[in-house]
Amino acid sequence: MALKIGFATQKGGPGKSTLARATAIGYAQNDWSVKIADFDLDQNTSTRWHQRRLQRDHQPAVAAEQFGSVAQALLLADNYDLMIFDGAPKASMATVDMAQACDLLVIPTGLALDDLEPAVELADKLHFKHGIPTERIVFALNHASDSDAELLEAREYLSYKPYFVLDSHLAQKVSYSRAMDVGLSVIEVSPKGLRSKAERLISSLIERATALSSK
Ligand SMILES: Nc1ncnc2c1ncn2[C@@H]1O[C@H](COP(=O)(O)OP(=O)(O)OP(=O)(O)O)[C@@H](O)[C@H]1O
Ligand SMILES: [Mg+2]
């Protein structure tokens, strides 16, 4: 059975597609066959990113396709080792379907309270209202500034919540967005320091998924 990892948020833009792509490539680098299911039907950003990747023949290859519902994507999931669910900009009932279907649900968030509060609200809704176990919900910190204090405070805020927070974080860097402009993921950027930070975040995500799926 395919492993399933979803990316969801309540507000738009915190990095679902960025992390979905990097996770896809991280697994593909380990020879997994991976499909990204893109649920952003209005902007289809991950399918467009995938076209840019194909045009430049970047390796490893992953597949990507748009889907209107989680049920449709699930019909194809077992043709792959891993299906990634790249959620639509805003949470909806499809987010609940996704959380129920996935082994791991990743909620990317910025570091300000304006970002953290809706991220925790979504996790709480999925857990308390829809019964998704806390252990299957993880937060990933993105769009970090160069302030260590902000990072520490964000981690402290999340430490009082019952959800796992991935190691490492993504700083807000033009190298990351430019890499995606040419079909690369954030774990494939040229600057070594930025690449290894992104790799640590994705390794933490993969370790978490492995720990859950081997239970
Ligand atoms: N760490 C980062 N540094 C620089 N740019 C970033 C970073 N993370 C994401 N971005 C950029 O921010 C924008 C939003 O990121 P992304 O598309 O991953 O978010 P999203 O949650 O998928 O958005 P949506 O809700 O619209 O689907 C994109 O232009 C992306 O390239
Ligand atoms: Mg997106």
Mean pLDDT of the 2-9 span = 97
pLDDT averaged over the chain?
97
Mean pLDDT of the 60-85 span = 97
For ligand 1, is residue 197 a contact (CB within 6 Å)? no
* pLDDT tens digits, 150-206: 999 999 999 999 999 999 999 999 999 999 999 999 999 999 999 999 999 999 999
- What is the model's pLDDT at position 207? 98
Edge-to-edge order in the sheet of strand 34-38: 63-66, 34-38, 82-86, 3-7, 104-109, 137-141, 164-165
Q: For residue 61, give the 3-state DSSP assignment.
A: coil
Within 13 Å, how many C-alpha atoms sit on residue 215's CB side?
A: 10
- What is the model's pLDDT at position 131? 98
For ligand 1, is residue 8 a contact (CB within 6 Å)? no
Inter-CA distances, 136 with 36, 96, 99, 171, 186, Å? 19, 13, 9, 24, 24
Instruction: Tell me which residues have their CB within 5 A of the ion that is ligand 2.
Output: 16-17, 40
For ligand 1, is residue 15 a contact (CB within 6 Å)? yes
Q: Which amino acid is at 97?
A: D
Q: Which two tokens stand for residue 69?
A: 């519902």
Q: How far does the centroid of ligand 2 lie from the alpha carbon of residue 33, in Å?
A: 21
Q: How far does the centroid of ligand 2 lie from the alpha carbon of residue 39, in Å?
A: 8
For ligand 1, is residue 143 a contact (CB within 6 Å)? yes
For ligand 1, is residue 142 a contact (CB within 6 Å)? yes
Estimate the crossing angle of helix 16-28 against helix 174-181, to 10 degrees. Answer: 70
Spell out the domains of the chain, with CATH numbers in brackets.
3-213 (3.40.50.300)
Q: How many percent of the chain have pLDDT more than 90?
A: 94
pLDDT band at 215 (very low <50, low <70, confident <90, very high): low
- What is the model's pLDDT at position 90? 87
Q: Is the pLDDT of residue 214 over 90?
A: no
For ligand 1, atom 17: residue with the closest CA? 17
- What is the model's pLDDT at position 91? 85
Q: How far does the centroid of ligand 1 lie from the alpha carbon of residue 14, in Å?
A: 6
* pLDDT tens digits, 108-166: 999 999 999 999 999 999 999 999 999 999 999 999 999 999 999 999 999 999 999 99
Q: How far does the centroid of ligand 1 lie from the alpha carbon of residue 207, in Å?
A: 23
Within 13 Å, how many C-alpha atoms sit on residue 132's CB side?
A: 26
> Measuring CA to CA, which residue among 199, 195, 109, 192 is closest to residue 158?
109
Inter-CA distances, 103 with 59, 76, 77, 136, 197, Å? 26, 16, 13, 7, 24
> Maximum CA pair distance of the chain?
45
For ligand 1, is residue 177 a contact (CB within 6 Å)? yes
- What is the model's pLDDT at position 181? 98
For ligand 1, is residue 6 a contact (CB within 6 Å)? no
Q: How far does the centroid of ligand 1 lie from the alpha carbon of residue 42, in Å?
A: 16
For ligand 1, is residue 119 a contact (CB within 6 Å)? no
Mean pLDDT of the 26-49 span = 96
Mean pLDDT of the 47-58 span = 98
